[in-house]
Structure 1
Amino acid sequence: MFPNSQYSRVRSSRLLSRGALALALALALGTAGGGSMLSAPAMAKDAAPELSAGFRAIAAPLQKELEEAKKKQGDAATVAAVKAKVEAGLTAAQTPDDKFFAGNFAIQGSMLDNDTALQRRGLESVIGSGKLPAADVGKYNYYLGANAYSAKDFATARKAFGAAVAAGFRENDVEALLAESYFTDNQAAQGLDVLMKSIEARTAAGTAAPEAWYRRGLGVAYNAKLLDQAGRYSNALVAAYPSTQNWSGAISVVRTVGNFQPQEMLDLLRLMARTKSFSEGSEYLDYAQVADARRLPGEVVKLLDQGIAAGKIKAADNFVSESKGIANSRIASDKASLPGLER
């Protein structure tokens, strides 16, 4: 019933553009040129580390061997030999301190040849050790989430991004990535709830959420035909960013996904008129059809004249000329309604 171009006014393919999303993940994973956000973590300041005897025997020479391997990254044999020892360290780790250092070594080893699987094991070991400084817990969960998201393991990504947010980490659009980990995994309703909570949290903190977040939520609700969520995001979008374009797109999406009765549809189209958000001729024609020239002639004439003046519809169009003809023939008996419409 409604053209796809209406939806395109609010559609945003992702909370982050594909390029920005790829760069965010690449930086987190250490694969972007010019450096990496990810580095081996420091241990929380505590008592001297308690290492098991088996792990200590592996770990003692491993840091030096990793440093030497970094100088010979083009030497596949050297890299493979060091990574084998890193794997042995992960297997031998027993105490929390073992697991922290084993994960640390694995993160370093993964950077020798961009081994994301080894990196993930290292991140999981470091986080699971409980030895990260509190200030780093969110950041390293973000790294783990980015790794899992890149591997399309969205369940792990959700858990890690959620832990990052819970720990107070707010960099690199982590809330957006958390929502995307639901959307990309065909869990639209859950992702929309998560995204709206993030929007509300930012609003409560006095920080405006990006407009793209609202538009993405509205677009997802449209695709999933979730009327309640579409209405929720429509209201939030125009409350935060009340542009003509957003009013137009938000109302169009609600019209498309909703199963409205004629009077409800008329109210929506009247809202579009009040917000001056008509952008296509079809919207004027839909309004005129629902209003009905025989029932509300004054309103229909006023609407069609506005559409003609705006260049969106043509006076010679059959529907337009017929509707105006019917309406004008009824104006005399309906003049009492015109003053109210003019107010």
Structure 2
Amino acid sequence: MKSVSKAALAAVLLMGVPAFVAGSPALAQKKKEEAGGLKVSDAWRKSAAEVQKLVEAKDWAGVKARIDALDAVSQNDDEKYYAASFRLAAAAGSNDNPSAIRALDVLLANPKTPQAELGKFNYFRGDFAYQAKQFPAAAQFFTKARDLGFQPQGTNLNLRIAQAQLDGGQVAAGAAAIDTAIKAEEAAGRKAPEAWYKVVVSKFYTAGDKANAAQWLARQVAAYPSPEAWRSSLMVYMEQASAKGATMDADLRLDVLRLIRAAKGLAGESDYYEYADAAQRRGLPWEVVSLFDEGRATGKISKPNPRLDPLYTQAIARQKAEVSLTAEEKRAAGAANGAVAMSTADAYLASGNNAKAVELYRLALQKGGVDTALVNTRLGIALARSGQKAEAKAAFASVTSGPRAELARFWTAWVDQQA
């Protein structure tokens, strides 16, 4: 999404510079002009013939020296059209941006400018506006060029529109333009670059629109579902959510890390330490043990490990000291609210018994008195781990507010990627 080069500008604008003067005698030329509907004065024709010769010789300095005088005697739209065209030719040939802008503004407003030229002129006028950081104006010119059917070679016009809108603070409009570009690529059997998603995510986060940022992050990892992309996207989500004032408590952080683990995105020992610390704080030693066993098996945790080994040893000891979950189930069934059912479900989820976790989370919701967004998130996780995609997505869809709503959308995107 770059500005057009000066060479490209000159090449395109110099194509088709209008010629009205032929080598025929003045009287014959005048009759020819009138037959074609062109109306110019004798004084203007004489001056224009001299300027045109300079244009044909590419004597841009000579054109510039005479063009103001030609402008001064240009009275009607025909005369103004040709004068502006000559000025534009000289400006393009000598990289004189102010003169090019002046000429383009005249040509865009002139009813005599051929329809076939308007798309090109709007596009380059938009580029000049963009270079001047006049982003709303640039977006308008680019949109007009697109609507007129202009297709700049090697440039995606929808992206130029999006670039101008995003840089001008019109984030929703810019995102919509990139969405159009993405769909066009998909319709052509191509995959849109990952950078297109990233720029929208960045702009939404900067604007404080966390819901749309999360939605686009989910689209990004759906289109580029590598473990690295999942980890990167979710780490950005946590950082930005915290920066914008969301409370990233241990429970929320744990469920984000669970998704990174599910996507095989845990990268190094720091990720494992953070995950283990979050699980340990929630009293879930089973998860810490399985996490470290997995990290050692994949070679992501070295052995011995002075930093992580104490956590592992502590988790094993706590796991052995835990009370029977079967007894907790009975207590949950007779409890006045869903708090015991929820804590028991958390333990089952951490130990890998997803079927029991689903049963107890549903009991917690039935009894009430619990954080429904948290419970439904974890119900969705348990269902997703069990391969119950539709049920998992329904659970995630019920989480509709706060940072957990954004996380639920990520989990839904992950579920959609599973075979």
In the superposition, the TM-score normalised over structure 2's length comes to 0.62
Matched, 1:139 2:120: yes
Check 1:196–1:116 CA distance in 2 against 1; reply closer, same or farther (3 A cut): same
Displacement after TM superposition at 1:144 (Å): 1.6
Residue 353 of structure 2 is aligned to residue 340 of structure 1: yes
Distance 1:294 1:241, change over 3 A: closer
Amino acid at match of 2:221: V
**AA partner of residue 255 (structure 2):** D
Q: Give how far 1:255 is off.
A: 1.6
CA–CA distance in structure 2, aligned partners of residues 244 and 89 of structure 1: 65
CA deviation vs aligned residue, 1:274-312 (integer Å, no higher than 9, x gap): 111223433222222222266222222222233344454
Q: CA deviation at 1:29?
A: 2.7
Query: 1:263 aligned to 2:251?
Result: yes
SS of 1:292's equivalent in the other structure is helix
Tell me which residue corresponds to 1:123. Answer: 104
Q: Structure 1 residues 239 and 95 mapped into 2: Cα distance closer, same or farther (>3 Å)?
A: farther
TM superposition shift of 1:123: 2.2
User: What is the rounded CA distance, in whole Å, between the counterparts of 2:71 and 2:228 in structure 1?
Assistant: 55
Residue 301 of structure 1 pairs with residue 265 of structure 2 = no
Task: State whether residues 63 and 86 of structure 2, in contact with CA within 8 Å, keep that contact through their aligned partners in structure 1.
Answer: no
Partner residue of 1:114 out of 83, 91, 95: 95
| Matching residue of 1:65 | 54
- What is the CA-CA distance between 1:316 and the residue it aligns to? 5.4
Which residue identity does 1:220 align to in structure 2? K
CA 1:111–1:164 in 2, change beyond 3 Å: closer, same or farther? Answer: closer
Q: 1:321 to 1:193 in 2, by over 3 A?
A: same
Cα offset, 1:89, TM superposition: 4.0
Q: State the shift of 1:199 in Å.
A: 2.8
Partners of 1:49 and 1:290 in 2: how far apart?
Answer: 81
**Cα distance change on mapping 1:273 and 1:104 into 2, 3 Å:** same
Distance 1:329 1:133, change over 3 A: farther
CA distance in structure 1 between the aligned counterparts of 2:229 and 2:73, rounded to whole angstroms: 57
1-structure distance, mates of 2:189, 2:80? 40
Residues 293 and 300 in structure 1, CA contact (< 8 A), matched pair in contact too = no
* Cα distance change of structure 1 residues 279 and 339 upon mapping to structure 2, 3 Å threshold: closer
Query: Is the partner of 1:279 in helix, strand or coil?
Result: coil
1:25 maps to what in 2? 5
Distance apart, 1:174 and its partner CA: 2.6
Q: 1:39 maps to what in 2? A: 14
Question: 1:119 corresponds to which letter in structure 2?
Answer: A
Q: Which runs of 5+ in 1 are unaligned?
A: 1-15, 31-35, 74-78
Counterpart for residue 309 of structure 2: 321
Structure 1 residues 128 and 180: alpha-carbon distance in aligned structure 2, compared to 1, 3 A threshold: same
Which of 255, 261, 274 is the equivalent residue of 1:273?
Answer: 261
Go from structure 1 to structure 2 and tell me whether the alpha carbon gap of 1:137 and 1:252 turns closer, same or farther (over 3 Å shift).
farther
Structure 1 vs Structure 2 CA RMSD: 3.3
Amino acid across the alignment from 1:213: W
Q: CA deviation at 1:320?
A: 2.2
Counterpart residue type for residue 67 of structure 1: E
Alpha-carbon shift at residue 231 of structure 1 (Å)? 0.9
1:214 matched to 2:202? The reply is: no
Q: Which moved more, 1:235-244 or 1:192-201?
A: 192-201
Contact between 1:42 and 1:132, CA under 8 Å: does it hold in 2?
no
Q: Name 1:282's counterpart in structure 2.
A: 270
Give the greater-gyration-radius structure (CA).
Answer: 2
Instruction: Give how far 1:270 is off.
Output: 1.6
Conservation of the 8 A alpha-carbon contact between 1:182 and 1:191:
yes
| One-letter amino acid of the structure 2 residue matched with residue 165 of structure 1 | R
Q: Is the 8 A contact 1:294 1:330 kept in 2?
A: no
Of 92-101 and 236-245, the range deviating more from structure 2 = 92-101
Matches within 5 A, 1:54-203: 56=45, 58-68=47-57, 70=58, 72=59, 79=61, 81-90=62-71, 93=74, 95-171=76-152, 172-185=155-168, 188=171, 190-200=173-183, 202-203=185-186
Aligned residues: 307
The residue number in structure 1 matching 2:367 is: none
8 Å Cα contact 1:25-1:150 kept in structure 2: no
Is residue 104–residue 121 contact of structure 2 (8 Å, CA) maintained in 1? Answer: yes
Compared CA separation, residues 318 and 39, structure 1 to 2 (3 A) = same
Q: Percent of aligned positions with the same letter in both sequences?
A: 31
The one-letter code sitting in structure 1 at the alignment partner of 2:133 is: K
Distance 1:88 1:334 in 2: 97
Q: Contact 1:244 / 1:276 at 8 angstroms: preserved in 2? A: yes
Q: Identify if the C-alpha distance between structure 1 residues 57 and 320 changes in structure 2 by more than 3 Å, giving closer, same or farther.
A: same
- Do the aligned residues in 1 keep the contact of 2:13 with 2:92 (CA within 8 Å)? no
For the 8 Å contact 1:199–1:209, the answer to whether it is kept is yes
Partner Cα distance (2:270, 2:68) in 1: 64
Distance 1:206 1:169 in 2: 22
TM-score computed with the length of structure 1 as normaliser: 0.74
d(CA) in 1 for partners of 2:44, 2:138: 29
